[in-house]
Structure 1
Amino acid sequence: MTTYARVGAVTGGNKGIGLAIVRQLALQYPKSPLNTGPLLIYLTARNEERGKAALESITTDAQLQKAKALRSQGGLTDVEYLPLDIDSKQSIDDFAAKIKQTHPDGIDFLINNAGVAMDGFDENVVKKTLHCNYFGTLEATQQLLPHLKDGGRLVNVASMAGKLSNSKYSDAIRTRFLQAKKPEEITELMDEFASAVSKGTHSSDWPSAGYAVSKAGVIGMTKTIAELNAASGSKVLVNSCCPGYVNTDMTKGRGSKTPDQGAQTPVLLAIGDIKGSNGQFWQNEQVINWA
């Protein structure tokens, strides 16, 4: 059995940005400051067939072969599939249990990339979007953050859509986002948004956009968790990022960036030199203002 110097996991890894993140991790790890020997990446997906097809695409990828990135090609990285549906608490429980059992000493990074972008706007769309993008990411973060090694990284993939200045929030709501000290305060905002949408009263305080609000929630929640985690003495760096407007299924092919370009910031936050950044929101490989 191989002993790995580093272990990481990528959620929603079977296509689009998630799959590109796995590829870029394998390509960039040899020159990473975190390189201390062989790396194991868990590519996770909710659908086993698609997850294993993605794994197959990694092993036959021409760029990876040319770079000799994978251990089967003489490189440093192995990629394995694990099931994970962040829309299901049971699935997150099972995934966390498997990681803890297989790697009792902890893992080095987790990139929470999985999410949904649904068409339309109504109570049902908002509920489903928040359940996956916000509550699923929160659950995965809370369960796996304690199992990250000191000096490890946790990256939550958000979006520019979650910038508070991009959407129609009331001053009161914006202030609550920015002044939140605990994830529970962000969760309260998410619940209030869902409730206001169901009552038809949201328009005075909120944008009519479930995806944007879910990603504002991810950025805010990540910031509060990062700050609390650092205050507890942990050296794990916790950040959120926008991959950019990437040409994937989620943007219906309208994005201007390739998936590989979109993967650059999440990969930097996971294995690059980010000079101790914690609780920040990143885009285009730099810290940007969330407000």
Structure 2
Amino acid sequence: MSTVAKLQRTILVTGGNKGIGFEVIKKLIKQPSSINNDLILLGSRDLKRGEDALSQLGSPTNVHLLQLDTLSKESISFATNEIKQKYGGQLDVLINNAGIAPTDDSIEEARKTLATNYYGVKLLNDNLIPFLRDHGRVINVASGIGPIVLGYVSKDLQDKYTSTTLTSEQLDCLVEDFVSALESNNLEKSGYTTEFPYLAYGVSKMALIALTRIEAQQCCDTRKIFVYSVCPGYCATDINKHGPGARSAELGADSILHVVNTSDHELKNGAFYRDGAELEPICMDEAKIQGFIKLMKDLSASK
């Protein structure tokens, strides 16, 4: 019998070499159910950094390195084939943790951010959801900025992003319309706010939360697969240069692990969670919105 066949779950964590993803893996290997039981694939864009992360973890035998860059279609294809060849094409949990934030408000950075945080996750899910066994789950790591940005766009856009009949193709069009509006300097005319620095990051997470609902419905219609989005909270990571006021990456990992380990009967398929609590798709709390705008402006000024 193969090693994989003896394992209880096969779990892939993208962006697992540092930050929140690393903390997720560190906590997984300490769970009683995971010790010498779960097979954990540590996804890392850079092999050397992935190897360093394995060393920091103590090189556990049930954690394997998988080179994976969600910005690269070729890398996603290669990783898909590796999972198929080495691990029998079977997964139980896919944690889409890898993501980037733009370094400025340029069109190039916006496209790169959306390509990684939205299109890359979508492509990876398209490739790997067929590998999930019954009662498998996908966790798309989003952000509280998604509902905040959605609370600041036009009512028409709010209705479109939250529509229960929204399709994957329609969502792609919404994202492309945003990029076009950014390129033509017509954000306000298109229903978007210009108050947020790094707006593309917020839109990428807003779209990811909407994608989660679409994928959950698709999987529910065909198989016993569950898809959730999670906000890890504003955590001290490389993305925000470990900014002031951020909570620890360990707490962010706990928020993700709640939807990894909680029974599917206790969770709502397609929902958005933080620290075990379901969040609304649109944030209308003006204090939170203004606080976030200030935070983003402070981060922008520090770069």
Tell me if both proteins adopt one fold, taking TM over 0.5 as the criterion.
Answer: yes
Q: Per-residue deviation at 1:167?
A: 4.7
Maintained 8 Å contact 2:149/2:206: no
- 2:57 equivalent in structure 1: 58
Q: Which runs of 5+ in 2 are unaligned?
A: 283-303
Tell me if 1:239 matches 2:242: no
Question: Which amino acid in the other structure matches residue 22 of structure 1?
Answer: I
Tell me if 1:169 matches 2:153: yes
Deviations 1:152-210 (A, max 9, x none): 11100000011156652111111000114322221111100001100110123113401
Maintained 8 Å contact 1:6/1:36: no
Q: 2:64 aligns with which of 59, 75, 80?
A: 80
Q: Distance in 1 between matches of 2:249 and 2:201?
A: 20
Q: Per-residue deviation at 1:18?
A: 0.8
- 1:24 equivalent in structure 2: 27
- 2:281 equivalent in structure 1: 290
Maintained 8 Å contact 2:83/2:89: no
Q: Per-residue deviation at 1:5?
A: 2.2
Three-state SS of the structure 2 residue aligned to 1:206 is: coil
Maintained 8 Å contact 2:258/2:275: no
Q: Distance in 1 between matches of 2:176 and 2:215?
A: 18
Tell me if 1:201 matches 2:186: yes
- 2:246 equivalent in structure 1: 256
- 2:42 equivalent in structure 1: 43
TM-score (normalizing by structure 1)? 0.88
Alignment of 1:1-291 (within 5 A): 2=3, 3-28=6-31, 30=32, 38-59=37-58, 70=60, 78-104=62-88, 106-164=90-148, 167-179=151-163, 180-204=165-189, 205-208=191-194, 209-232=199-222, 234-254=223-243, 255-274=245-264, 275-291=266-282
Q: Distance in 2 between matches of 1:276 and 1:261?
A: 20
Q: Per-residue deviation at 1:37?
A: 7.2
Three-state SS of the structure 1 residue aligned to 2:188 is: helix
Q: Per-residue deviation at 1:122?
A: 2.4
Q: 1:257 to 1:164 in 2, by over 3 A?
A: closer
Which consecutive segments of 4 or more residues in structure 1 shift more than 3 A?
A: 164-167
Q: 1:50 to 1:165 in 2, by over 3 A?
A: closer
Three-state SS of the structure 2 residue aligned to 1:104 is: coil
Deviations 1:5-41 (A, max 9, x none): 211100011111110111111123x25xxx7971110
Q: Distance in 2 between matches of 1:200 and 1:175?
A: 23
Q: Which runs of 5+ in 1 are unaligned?
A: 61-69, 72-77
Deviations 1:100-152 (A, max 9, x none): 22233621101000010122212112111111111001111111111100001
Question: Which amino acid in the other structure matches residue 51 of structure 2?
Answer: K
Maintained 8 Å contact 1:156/1:241: yes
- 2:290 equivalent in structure 1: none
Q: Distance in 1 between matches of 2:267 and 2:88?
A: 25
Maintained 8 Å contact 2:187/2:193: yes
Q: CA RMSD in A?
A: 1.9
How many residue pairs match? The answer is 271
Maintained 8 Å contact 2:235/2:252: yes
